[in-house]
């Protein structure tokens, strides 16, 4: 009696093959919200011979330059403070809400609860006016006056000064040194317009000293070349329909600015804050970002999702990310582009997502066969399938996706290894290829014949009292007579192959 079993194996502790997951390649451009004037683009225009009027006309279409009464502005310097140190290198004055004056010598004073108790006659808020030298707050110098007011959460300090003195502390912190005079002039007009259009007369201050309004550094920020630009454009503002506009500006567009409605959907669309081309923005170091590689696990972690397998950008009319759709656990979720920008620390919403994924390898792959692997690409050219060998990651196939992005490739099952997709300098997650040895068993009466490919250590086991016990060992082959009974073969695969166990076969005594 003969029984033939060829390549029928049951895996012994075969590890589950995990999903590889998708690798996302994020390419982006620009820095900032994208609305209004691109500062690097303005510098590019200036280097190409544009004066500040032409620069402003390009970024703020349908506007014209008018003249405004500057007045004073109020800039928040600090709030929720227990104490504020105000001083000057020359005598200065404290004026209370009723106009009472207290003259102070050239020194600094600490305004806190004790100061208020010592000077009960001073009604809040109190204003510090400079003498022949400017005031300092916390050691930093500022033009104009300083108002200190007690609020429920602590002391609030506000710098009150003429508009163009304020701009002296803004323009040099908004644009770098060494730029063209025309750029500084365009920046001065834009900043002046933005300031006057965003004043808050009914509040305790008009402007923040940071990106919430405009960067403001006081006297320490001032530079001669920007002071000249502010003076050369004194009083000039951008006007549309007899109103000063909020002339938004930002660092880098990446080649095209954004309309205000695309950047902030609840904002009213106006004809002077529309998307315009920005051909000379390439000067910026942020014109194009280095490619950012994001694993599916990273995307899931940042966005609070599970089992992310795809991510797609939904563009708005300015060509930027209005939203990002993420496929997680089989369902599409939609996230605003601005939220994704914030979550991943991106320079702008002008980005695109390309993707590559290699599907998990099939289980039960037998030595000497060919295994077909699938996956998909989006937004990419030819990717490479790489295999981990003793020489490191080696390209074994070039991937040619179909129009849908899907692809299949075939590789020989030589040994257990890792496979991955690579594109330029980026590689996706590795997929485990677990290869089973090819085993042929033949039972002829009392003789058991075994052939293992490749040649691997094997152990012949006999079922005795419900337990499998080793009765013989060999390497690659076995051809011997054994007592009648049930036998199986255990393959010691080692690092290169899956250790496995054959199904049982029966050996019978030879009939007389």
- Residue-wise pLDDT for 261-313, tens only, equals 999 999 999 999 999 999 999 999 999 999 999 999 999 999 999 999 999 99
Would you say residue 100 lies in a domain? yes
Quote the number of domains for the chain: 3
> Based on the number of CB atoms within 10 Å of its own CB, is 101 exposed (0-12), middle (13-18) or buried (19 or more)?
exposed
| In the predicted structure, residue 7 carries a pLDDT above the cut 70 | no
**Spatial distance between the Cα atoms of 83 and 89, rounded to a whole number of angstroms:** 20
Mean per-residue pLDDT of the chain: 92
CATH of the domain at 392: 2.60.40
Q: Which of 435, 455, 471 is the last residue of a domain?
A: 435
Q: Tell me: do 409 and 457 sit in the same domain.
A: no
Q: Can you read off the two tokens belonging to residue 60?
A: 């703020």
pLDDT tens digits, one per residue of 253-273: 999 999 999 999 999 999 999
**Spatial distance between the Cα atoms of 118 and 113, rounded to a whole number of angstroms:** 9
Q: Tell me: do 74 and 149 sit in the same domain.
A: yes
| In the predicted structure, residue 124 carries a pLDDT above the cut 70 | yes
Q: Which domain holds residue 115?
A: 64-244
Q: Tell me: do 215 and 133 sit in the same domain.
A: yes
Q: Tell me: do 114 and 132 sit in the same domain.
A: yes
In this prediction the pTM is: 0.80
Write out the H or E segment, with its range, that includes residue 491.
strand 485-491
**Spatial distance between the Cα atoms of 113 and 486, rounded to a whole number of angstroms:** 94
Q: Tell me: do 421 and 450 sit in the same domain.
A: no
Q: Tell me: do 451 and 400 sit in the same domain.
A: no
Q: Tell me: do 226 and 90 sit in the same domain.
A: yes
Q: Tell me: do 382 and 502 sit in the same domain.
A: no
**Spatial distance between the Cα atoms of 165 and 383, rounded to a whole number of angstroms:** 57
Q: Tell me: do 382 and 430 sit in the same domain.
A: yes
Q: Tell me: do 85 and 170 sit in the same domain.
A: yes
Would you say residue 165 lies in a domain? yes
pLDDT tens digits, one per residue of 450-486: 999 999 999 999 999 889 999 999 999 999 999 999 9
Q: Which of 205, 225, 244 is the last residue of a domain?
A: 244
Q: Tell me: do 371 and 465 sit in the same domain.
A: no
Would you say residue 380 lies in a domain? yes
pLDDT tens digits, one per residue of 156-196: 999 999 999 999 999 999 999 999 999 999 999 999 999 99
- Residue 463 DSSP label: E
pLDDT tens digits, one per residue of 43-62: 999 999 999 999 999 999 99
Would you say residue 476 lies in a domain? yes
The predicted pLDDT at position 379 comes to 87
Q: Which residue in the block uniquely carries the two structure tokens 């690798």?
A: 23
The predicted pLDDT at position 512 comes to 54
Write out the H or E segment, with its range, that includes residue 341.
helix 337-344
Q: Tell me: do 218 and 81 sit in the same domain.
A: yes
Closest CA to 249 of 278, 290, 283: 278
The predicted pLDDT at position 511 comes to 64
């Amino acid at each position: 009696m003969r029984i033939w079993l060829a390549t029928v194996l049951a895996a012994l502790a075969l590890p589950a093959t995990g999903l590889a997951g998708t690798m996302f390649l994020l390419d982006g451009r620009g820095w900032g919200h994208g609305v209004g004037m691109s500062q690097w683009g303005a510098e590019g225009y200036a280097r190409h011979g544009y004066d500040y009027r032409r620069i402003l006309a390009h970024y703020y279409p349908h506007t014209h330059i008018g003249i405004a009464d500057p007045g004073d502005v109020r800039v928040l310097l600090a709030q929720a403070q227990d104490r504020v140190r105000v001083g000057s290198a020359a005598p200065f004055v404290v004026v209370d809400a009723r106009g009472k004056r207290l003259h102070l010598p050239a020194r600094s004073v600490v305004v806190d609860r004790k100061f208020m108790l010592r000077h009960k006659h001073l009604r809040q808020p109190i204003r510090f006016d400079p003498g022949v030298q400017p005031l300092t707050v916390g050691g930093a110098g500022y033009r104009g006056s300083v108002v200190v007011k007690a609020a429920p959460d602590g002391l609030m300090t506000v710098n009150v000064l003429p508009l163009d003195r304020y701009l002296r502390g803004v323009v040099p912190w908004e644009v770098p040194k060494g730029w063209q005079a025309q750029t500084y002039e365009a920046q001065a007009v834009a900043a002046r317009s933005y300031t006057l259009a965003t004043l808050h007369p009914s509040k305790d201050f008009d402007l923040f000293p940071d990106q919430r309004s405009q960067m403001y550094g006081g006297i320490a920020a001032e530079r001669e070349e920007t002071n000249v630009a502010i003076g050369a454009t004194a009083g000039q503002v951008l006007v549309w329909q007899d109103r000063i506009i909020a002339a938004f500006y930002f660092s880098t567009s990446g080649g095209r600015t954004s309309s205000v409605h695309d950047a902030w959907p609840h904002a009213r669309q106006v004809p002077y804050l529309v998307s315009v081309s920005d051909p000379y923005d390439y000067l910026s170091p942020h014109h194009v970002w280095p490619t950012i590689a994001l694993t599916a696990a990273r995307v899931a972690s940042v966005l609070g999702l599970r089992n992310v397998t795809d991510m797609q950008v939904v563009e708005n009319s300015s060509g930027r990310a209005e939203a990002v759709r993420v496929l997680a656990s089989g369902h599409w979720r939609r996230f605003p582009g601005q939220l994704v920008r914030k979550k991943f620390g991106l320079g702008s919403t002008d980005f695109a997502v390309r993707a590559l994924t290699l599907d998990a390898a099939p289980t039960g792959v037998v030595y000497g066969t060919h295994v077909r692997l699938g996956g998909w690409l989006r937004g990419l050219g030819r990717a490479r399938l790489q295999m981990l060998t003793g020489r490191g990651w080696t390209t074994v196939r070039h991937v040619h996706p179909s129009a849908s992005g899907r692809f299949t490739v075939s590789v020989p099952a030589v040994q257990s290894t890792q496979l991955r997709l690579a594109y330029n300098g980026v590689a996706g997650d590795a997929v485990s290829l677990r290869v089973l040895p090819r085993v042929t068993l033949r039972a002829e009466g009392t003789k058991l014949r075994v052939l293992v490919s490749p040649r691997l250590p094997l152990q012949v086991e006999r079922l005795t009292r419900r337990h499998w016990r080793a009765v013989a060992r060999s390497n690659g082959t076995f051809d011997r007579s054994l007592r009648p009974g049930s036998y199986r073969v255990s393959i010691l695969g080692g690092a290169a192959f899956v250790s496995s166990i054959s199904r049982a076969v029966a050996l019978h005594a030879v009939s007389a």
